[in-house]
Amino acid sequence: MGISGLLPVLRNIIEPRHVSKYAGKKVAVDTYSWLHKGSYGCALELCTGAPTDKYVTYCLDRVKMLLHYKVIPVMVFDGANLPSKQGTEVDRKLSRLENRSKGIQALRADNRSAAIEYFQRAVDVTPAMAYKLIKALRKLNVECIVAPYEADAQLAYLNLQGYVSAVISEDSDIIAFGAKAVLLKMDKDGYGEDTCPRYRQKLLGACSTMNLSGWEPERFTQMCIFAGCDYLKSLPGMGIKKAYAAINNIGGQRAPLDECFVRAINKLRLDGTLVPSDYLKDFERAYLTFQFQRVFDPEKQMLVTLKPLPEVRDTSFNHLDIQAPLLSSRQKHPLAVLEAHSLTLKLASSRAH
């Protein structure tokens, strides 16, 4: 889903770019999107259980294209699901099952083209498929990294640490996570859209309605959450523009739930926006997920957080005792919030290797 309305707003500052710009450098790939695209060409086989490796071939062709241009791919895979996202996945799973059974019916009625159409709506990328690709990639000596949780956070970390020069992705979430150089919508020939050229600075001149000059990255992330993201549905009537306006009126504080932020929420409520009672708590959890999600550091060979954790005594979090009862005094450390909603690290760790 990504961030609602973000890419159209950024369109003015996105430039066409060929991947050969990164020749001689490492580039991280959001592999799921490639697997997903590659699945469409073999939807019938995947849904009927017939053997196929077309999706592997699809991904390998793209990897070979990168290698042709001397770009060194680092293939990143999703790991465990974040429990906070499980709500929507149930609906999607039901929809896929429904389309699959319709496809089987069409197949029995000898309507092959209709069956394929249904199956294309039913295809699902499974960990088994990802593993099959990983084995093929290892034969080519291509580096693979399985994220503890979401690939987006992992990709952003690799980019922020300088482990890779850019990220190839289809998802605007990667920008909210803070990645510095992103090549969006790259086609099979290596052409894509680059958000690298100092998008925050250029945005101020490119778009008269949104001026992000002087914005801390944290505030940009907050705007993205406000506009509606995978972790938190936006308030009714709230889109990217109103999110910008709401955040822009807040002072330059870094903390998600400082007094200024709470005041902005209260103002929205006074203006007639329906703000659920636990919106602040949910907003904070979304913010912490963007900032401190667990990722794997390939150099240290250990799990770390995307951004360094603030000190427990950081005064910017002190107000949480009052504004967000979610945090008990024993759980004041931001990470405690995430851990409470996460699967066991044991699982994440075993998947990272």
What residue ranges bind DNA (CB under 7 A)?
1-2, 4-5, 7-8, 30-33, 35-38, 40-41, 54, 57-58, 61, 77-78, 81, 88-89, 92-93, 120-121, 124-130, 150-152, 170-172, 184-185, 188, 209, 228, 234, 236-243
* CA proximity to 32, closest of 181, 166, 178, 134: 134
Q: Cα(274)–Cα(129) distance, rounded to whole angstroms?
A: 43
Rounded least distance, CB 274 to DNA, Å: 10
- Compare residues 37 and 332 and give the one whose CB is closer to DNA: 37
Rounded least distance, CB 36 to DNA, Å: 6
* CA proximity to 81, closest of 291, 234, 353, 294: 294
Q: How far is CA 320 from CA 5, 203, 292, in A?
A: 30, 33, 17
- Compare residues 290 and 317 and give the one whose CB is closer to DNA: 290
Rounded least distance, CB 332 to DNA, Å: 31
Q: Give the CA count within 13 Å in the CB-facing half-sphere of 202.
A: 12
Q: Cα(207)–Cα(213) distance, rounded to whole angstroms?
A: 11
Rounded least distance, CB 233 to DNA, Å: 9
E strand map for the chain: 15-18, 26-30, 72-77, 143-146, 166-169, 182-184, 191-194, 294-297, 302-305
Cα–chain-centroid distance for residue 213?
24
Rounded least distance, CB 315 to DNA, Å: 33
- Compare residues 238 and 327 and give the one whose CB is closer to DNA: 238
Rounded least distance, CB 122 to DNA, Å: 11
- Compare residues 126 and 201 and give the one whose CB is closer to DNA: 126
- Compare residues 241 and 322 and give the one whose CB is closer to DNA: 241
- Compare residues 22 and 58 and give the one whose CB is closer to DNA: 58
